[in-house]
Amino acid sequence: MATVETLLAALHDRTGEYISEHPATSEAAKLGWHRLALNAMRILVMTSPPADVTTILKQILRHVDPRDAPVNSAMTAIGYTLGVLADTVNSHPDTLKAAGHAGRTQLRSCILGTLHHVAAITLQALPADSTVPGRNLIRDLADATEAAAYAPWRTPHQPLAGLSLGPTPGSLDQAVDRWARCATDILTSPSRVTSYAFQRTAATIARVCFAAAAVLTEPAGERAGDHIAGSTLAAAAQAWQTAADWPPEVRLGGRTTPLRQRSSELDQALAGLAHVAVSSLTEHEALFGAVLRAERVSASYQAALVQVVTSHSLWVSVEALGSHYLTRHPGTARADWVIDPGTLHGEALLSASERAGAALRQAVDHIHRPVTPAGWARSPRDRPVWETITASRQLQRRRSTNAPGPSRGMGR
């Protein structure tokens, strides 16, 4: 995944590209501003921007042409780069806050500098006519951001510079992701699934539910509906504990060392949350995601268990089958293990699995997704707007001899 540092470097390069390109016509210069203003504002609201800049950007969103520039243009590349940068920054509000004033100032300066350079070049392409929609706003934006254009271009220090979309190394998100992929891979493999895989997976799902229930039932500062979600999660956790309690007379042999390791990593990540107050948006979002991943794993668990039981793949202790089995199978020792001939053992496991899965689905239905920050752009359905680009493409910087270059205020 592209980091904040990588994205800012790409933004610098693409701004230089736009300066070198020069919009061919005044009509072309009007395109792409809506996306650029929207994504720039999503970043700036997280960094305490100048009030006049925010006001101008809001007015630009209302008055400029909403159409995008051509797909292969530098203006479009700038807009999408800002979009991914906004997604990344808004995904780590706690880290941005912990970065302090200096880190936020560096990030804000980069965005304001880009806005100034793009606005200045756009003005050169537009006719000097105050009746052109949005021209005065772009001129005001160029004036309001001019000071930032002279500031040296510096990327923020760590940890802000290293932020990226996707799980942070060592985080609960990453631990859940690695565990879920490993558990699903093993459960769906006829040659690798074992009784330990079923028991350990069920126990881990129970632990995730317990951790989320503990947060949602905290007395301070939670919505009333959270207590209902907390109680349903606690019930789901108990149901999955029951599902993990396989009788000792039933086995499904094999070894699943990778799952043991991934489950232990997730246990440690969840244990780490128990020593701190889980009250931040990031931690709530991580637990919310963990429960959803656990629900998807539970679906794989139930399907795998149905396959194992119906295909008579379980092994049962002869002693548990009773004297009637010994009578019908002379020569069989009580200490032996045989393929399950279709006893109630498998049905009991399926029944516990079905109850646990239903309880977890009910709990998920009652969970409210954590409220996102005010700076997070929303769609009409109140969901974050994610934009993706490939930030690894190396762009050749070009400089124009008759246009102000970003080196004036964007030199690194």
Domain definitions of the chain by residue range = 4-165+375-410, 172-366
CA 388 to chain centre: 13
Q: Is residue 274 predicted with pLDDT exceeding 60? A: no
Query: Mean pLDDT across the stretch 318-328?
Result: 65
Closest CA to 212 of 283, 267, 265, 151: 283
Q: Residues of the chain with pLDDT > 90: what percent?
A: 17
Q: What pLDDT does residue 152 have?
A: 75
Band of residue 327 on the pLDDT scale cut at 50, 70, 90: low
Q: What is the pLDDT of residues 363-396, one digit of tens each?
A: 988 876 554 433 333 333 333 333 434 333 333 3
Better-predicted residue by pLDDT, 51 or 337: 51
Residue 343 pLDDT: 66
- Looking up tokens 């919505």, which residue turns up? 223
pLDDT at residue 82 above 80?
yes
Q: Are the beta carbons of 155 and 8 closer than 8 angstroms?
A: yes
Phi, psi of 396 (to 5 degrees): -80, 120
Q: In this predicted model, what pLDDT tens digit does every residue of 182-222 receive, in sequence order? A: 999 999 888 888 889 999 999 999 999 998 888 776 554 44
pLDDT at position 50 over 80: yes
* Bigger pLDDT: 160 vs 200: 200
pLDDT surpassing 70 at residue 133: no
What is the pLDDT, as a whole number, of residue 217?
A: 67
Mean pLDDT of the chain: 76
pTM for the model = 0.52
* CA distance linking residue 103 with residue 89, whole number of Å: 12
Residue 7 has pLDDT above 80, yes or no: yes
Per residue in 214-250, pLDDT (tens digit) is 877 655 444 445 668 788 999 999 999 999 998 888 8
401 vs 156, higher pLDDT: 156
- Residue with more model confidence, 341 or 127: 127
